[in-house]
């Protein structure tokens, strides 16, 4: 079973984070939520979430996928955290998947892992996707880097992650079961 780490920074976008966690767990993936400042994490809109672990306790584990939800100031907190930068660089250098949605691709740009890659983000953050060929696709997959636009693309993004890790049949089964349009 694939192991996934969803990074949770104060100011995260609740729709994105919860959709990602929910859909990946529906696919029966092993999902660990990791809070940057501990296990209690404050969302951008006042929703407080209890993470499974503090980032310091799980950062050295091997992950098949590391996911960065967006939101503000969540995305800037991810971008500016040295531990997140180190994890993203290590993950990408090993050829393993890194995914970010909304404004969170700015953390990938800061880590230097978008060089020569197609990537998307929430409108207005393209200039921080250092080295990327920016596109406006709702979900963009370029090798081991997966990016998406924002809250309205969270389910589509999550299903794309499932497809990458579990295959089209599992992703399509979830899409149909959740009544998600194609």
| Alpha helix stretches (DSSP H) within the chain | 14-26, 55-58, 74-79, 82-93, 105-111, 154-166, 168-177
Q: Note down pLDDT in tens along the chain; length 182 residues.
A: 899 999 999 999 999 999 999 999 999 999 999 999 999 999 999 999 999 999 999 999 999 999 999 999 999 999 999 999 999 999 999 999 999 999 999 999 999 999 999 999 999 999 999 999 999 999 999 999 999 999 999 999 999 999 999 999 999 999 999 999 86
Question: 94 lies in a domain?
Answer: yes
Tokens of 164: 């990458």
Where in the sequence numbering do the catalytic residues fall?
Answer: 102
Count of domains in the chain? Answer: 1
Residue-level pLDDT at 86: 98
Distance CA(152)–CA(64), nearest Å, equals 25
Residue-level pLDDT at 155: 98
Question: 45 lies in a domain?
Answer: yes
Q: Which of 21, 114, 160 is nearest to 125 (CA)?
A: 114
Contact assessment for residue 49 and residue 88, using Cβ atoms and an 8 Å cutoff = no
Please name the residues in contact with 46: beta carbons below 8 A apart, sequence gap of 6 or more. none
Residue-level pLDDT at 1: 86
Question: 182 lies in a domain?
Answer: no
Beta-bridged to residue 35, according to DSSP, are: 8, 54
CATH number at residue 77: 3.40.50.880
Domain range for 100 is 3-177
Contact assessment for residue 137 and residue 120, using Cβ atoms and an 8 Å cutoff = yes
Tokens of 4: 């996934």
Distance CA(113)–CA(132), nearest Å, equals 9
DSSP, res 45? T
């Amino acid at each position: 079973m694939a192991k996934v780490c969803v990074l949770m920074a104060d100011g995260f976008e609740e729709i994105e984070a919860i959709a990602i966690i929910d859909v990946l767990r529906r696919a029966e993936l092993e999902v660990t939520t990791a809070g940057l400042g501990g296990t209690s994490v404050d969302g951008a809109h006042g929703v407080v979430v209890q993470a499974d672990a503090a980032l310091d306790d799980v950062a050295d584990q091997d992950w098949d996928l590391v996911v960065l939800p967006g939101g503000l100031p969540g995305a800037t907190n991810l971008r500016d955290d040295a531990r997140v930068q180190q994890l993203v660089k290590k993950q990408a250098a090993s050829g393993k998947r890194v995914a970010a949605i909304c404004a969170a691709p700015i953390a990938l740009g800061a880590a230097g892992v978008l060089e020569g890659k197609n990537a998307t983000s929430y409108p207005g953050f393209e200039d921080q996707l250092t080295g990327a060929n920016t596109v406006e696709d709702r979900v963009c997959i370029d090798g081991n880097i997966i990016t998406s636009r924002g809250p309205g693309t969270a389910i589509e993004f999550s299903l794309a992650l499932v497809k990458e890790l579990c295959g089209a049949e599992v992703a399509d089964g979830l899409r149909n079961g959740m009544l998600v349009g194609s």
